[in-house]
Amino acid sequence: MAAKKQDSNSKPKKRNRNPDANTNPDSSSFKKPKLVSSKPENKPVEKVFKPFKKTFGKVKSQSGEEKKTPLSKRERRIHAKELTEARKKRRKQYYTLEQELARLWEKMRQRNIAKEERSKIITEAIQKMKGKIPEIASSHVSSRVLQTCVKYCSQTERDAVFDELKPHFLTFASNKYAIHLVTKMLDNASKKQLAEFISPLRGHVASLLRHAVGSVVIEHAYQLGNATQKQELLMELYSTELQLFKDLASMKESRLVDVISKLNLQKGSVSRHMASVIQPILEKGIVDHTIIHKVLIEYLSIADKTSAAEIIQQLSGPLLVRMIHTRDGSRIGILCVKHGSAKERKKIVKGLKGTVGKTAHFQYGSLVLACIVSTVDDTKLVAKTVIRELQTILKELVLDKNGRRPLLQLLNPNCTRYFSPDEMASLSLSISSLNAMGDLEVNRETKSLKDEESSDKDNSGRDVTMVEADGSASSETLQLVEGGKKDPSIRRQELLVGSGLAKNLIDMCTENAEELLRSNFGKEVLYEAATGGSGGILQQTLGDELNALHEAIASVAAESKSEGSEKEHVLENFHSSRTIRKLVLDNPAFAATLWKKALSGKCEQWAQGHSSKVICAFLESSDAMVSKLAKEELQPLINRGILKLPEKKQPANEG
């Protein structure tokens, strides 16, 4: 029995057929029957066109019944406007007040309004806003009204507005409309009010710097604050300890290296904290502010090799162009050019495309361009991107105080006559952790620059001192080892002569010789071009062009002296007479040309005033041929007392 049961259980059970299924014999046996769905099929529903619903107005007929007539376009617009106004009144608590303030604002911001009338309107507006300023300051309408009120109101009214806004400054610092009111309040704040504003920022500086709007407020406060307040804002970004303890932040030391040394802080801990602050800021591209530039330059002074290289890699490119308008920003740019790889330097140069002319006119941007032309080895890229843009505005650059610097850097590199000590310090900055060049390579580059650097001393014979990565100046003589590996003289030759810049520059100087001689800034470029540049780099290939320039300067000096003319003669003008005198002393070829064309037989009329310095330069020249050329005519003038030489320079009379 057990076996029979087992056999019966082992047989496959037959599937119960659905009585409602289709019993068509032609249908395959393996197909499952389709179940009838209770849900309706999702068929596309055709949209019925609905004509525009007209708005009707109620009109009474003669029988007294109301009939609906369609409204005109003007009536529909008025009706829609009324609905919008009603909706805004329900949504905005102070909508009616804002409309009243907007009407007052249209009157108070007019330029031709009387001062007394404007004061009355402002007083009326402030009285309407009193007690509600924090609530309406975030509105794009009310914030503009408040800005105008703060600008023109009395000090008492301004103080009242400040007191009402003071508890909410931190909130307003991140609002895209209220920020303009905050900056306007800071511009008109007293020293006490500025301190009251900066104090609540403590502990929130890093978070606000990461905010696109909040960073503007921090930058504005940083620019207006004194040295102590600036240091207070910076200390929070250096270390968590300095953020927690206010007493530690009030220190006289401004450099991060000195702060770490005095407080015995862990350098690694400070570096990690600063990296956590800096990275989000760089990722968001908020790099336009001076406080961020200061933090970056301090971070690079303590960062290890890997961290410093990562920062340089992040900044190399368009971001750097937005930073080089400030002192610390230009220093960061110089460090990126010096320590960046060939690929990173290429990104920096390409990022300047289209902005080279504008950058050259900036005081600090011109330093970065000077560093590029004296560091980057890819001269073809520099000539194509930088030099080509400079050539289109040569005259404008030569006459500009900052624009001439890249040209002077090529003509006479690192000359202290054209760069201040602080600018020379910026050009010689380096990052200690990235100075990984071998001693052999350093010595080779130093040796190749020795001859060229000998001309970088000014007339007083003073040497420039090296500024190290931490900002301190060493007492040793400066040896400006450039970041590139190419020989500096070859680089200068390719950028000046090979690109055609030198020829265009000399031609421009020849055409505008008189204007450049009289210019305070153009005369220096003219002098360097006329002397052939440092080391005579232009004399070998452009000798004919230089002779033409000498002839042009001599022709201007040869013009007759007219007493009735308002314009001073170039030999009597202060700037031009000094430039011509220097050319006579330093360039014998020019001295001979000037003597033959302008001064021979005419020295007596130029023996007084500024022109006498030019005449005396012929006798002071170290070149024997130049002094011999003029001595025959000048000696009788000296004997007769018409021409007076400096006492130390006066030669002994020959019997």
Phi, psi (degrees; rounded to nearest 5) at 70: -65, 140
- For residue 302, give the nearest of 267, 341, 331 by alpha carbon: 267
Q: What is the C-alpha to C-alpha distance for residues 594 and 586, in angstroms, rounded to an integer?
A: 13
Summarize pLDDT for 353-394 with one digit per residue, the tens.
999 999 999 999 999 999 999 999 999 999 999 999 999 999
Task: Summarize the confidence of residues 404-426 as an average pLDDT.
Answer: 93
Tokens of 192: 């006490």
pLDDT computed for residue 240 by the predictor: 79
Q: Which residues contact 400 (CB under 8 A, 6 or more apart)?
A: 360, 361, 521
pLDDT exceeds cutoff 90 at 461: no
Would you say 416 and 456 are in contact if contact means Cβ atoms under 8 Å apart? yes
Q: What is the C-alpha to C-alpha distance for residues 489 and 483, in angstroms, rounded to an integer?
A: 14
Tokens of 253: 């030391």
pLDDT computed for residue 476 by the predictor: 32
Summarize pLDDT for 577-636 with one digit per residue, the tens.
999 999 999 988 998 898 888 888 777 788 778 888 888 888 887 777 777 777 777 777
pLDDT exceeds cutoff 70 at 288: yes
pLDDT computed for residue 506 by the predictor: 95
Q: Domain spans of the chain? A: 87-201, 512-559+567-640
Task: Summarize the confidence of residues 474-483 as an average pLDDT.
Answer: 39
**Cα 376 from chain centroid (whole Å):** 21
Question: pLDDT class for 327, splitting at 50, 70, 90?
Answer: very high
Task: Summarize the confidence of residues 468-476 as an average pLDDT.
Answer: 37
Q: Which residues contact 404 (CB under 8 A, 6 or more apart)?
A: 397, 398, 418, 521, 522, 524, 525
pLDDT exceeds cutoff 60 at 444: no
The fraction of the chain above a pLDDT of 70, given in percent, is 77
Summarize pLDDT for 11-35 with one digit per residue, the tens.
555 555 555 544 444 444 444 555 5
Sign of CA dihedral 220, 223, 224, 227: positive
pLDDT computed for residue 246 by the predictor: 63
Would you say 280 and 210 are in contact if contact means Cβ atoms under 8 Å apart? yes
Summarize pLDDT for 20-74 with one digit per residue, the tens.
544 444 444 444 555 544 445 555 555 555 554 545 555 555 555 555 677 788 8
Q: What is the C-alpha to C-alpha distance for residues 243 and 241, in angstroms, rounded to an integer?
A: 5
Would you say 527 and 583 are in contact if contact means Cβ atoms under 8 Å apart? yes
Would you say 558 and 598 are in contact if contact means Cβ atoms under 8 Å apart? yes
Would you say 530 and 590 are in contact if contact means Cβ atoms under 8 Å apart? yes
Q: How do 465-467 and 66-70 pair as beta strands?
A: unpaired
Query: Which residues are registered as beta bridge partners of 467?
Result: 473
Tokens of 92: 């905005």
**How many residues are listed for the chain in this entry?**
655
Tokens of 373: 């032309």
Task: Summarize the confidence of residues 259-265 as an average pLDDT.
Answer: 84
pLDDT computed for residue 275 by the predictor: 93
pLDDT exceeds cutoff 80 at 221: yes
Terminal CA-CA length for the chain: 162
pLDDT computed for residue 299 by the predictor: 94
pLDDT computed for residue 453 by the predictor: 41
Q: What is the C-alpha to C-alpha distance for residues 348 and 350, in angstroms, rounded to an integer?
A: 5
Tokens of 374: 């004296």
Mean of pLDDT over the chain? 80
Summarize pLDDT for 530-582 with one digit per residue, the tens.
999 998 899 889 999 999 999 999 999 888 877 656 788 888 888 899 999 99
Q: What is the C-alpha to C-alpha distance for residues 165 and 172, in angstroms, rounded to an integer?
A: 9
DSSP for 514-563, written as a single string: HHHHHSTTHHHHHHHHHTTSGGGTTTTT-HHHHHHHHHHHHHHHTSPP-S
pLDDT computed for residue 630 by the predictor: 76
pLDDT exceeds cutoff 90 at 214: yes
Among 282-286, 299-303, 602-606, 614-618, the least confident range = 602-606
Tokens of 171: 């909130």
Would you say 526 and 509 are in contact if contact means Cβ atoms under 8 Å apart? yes
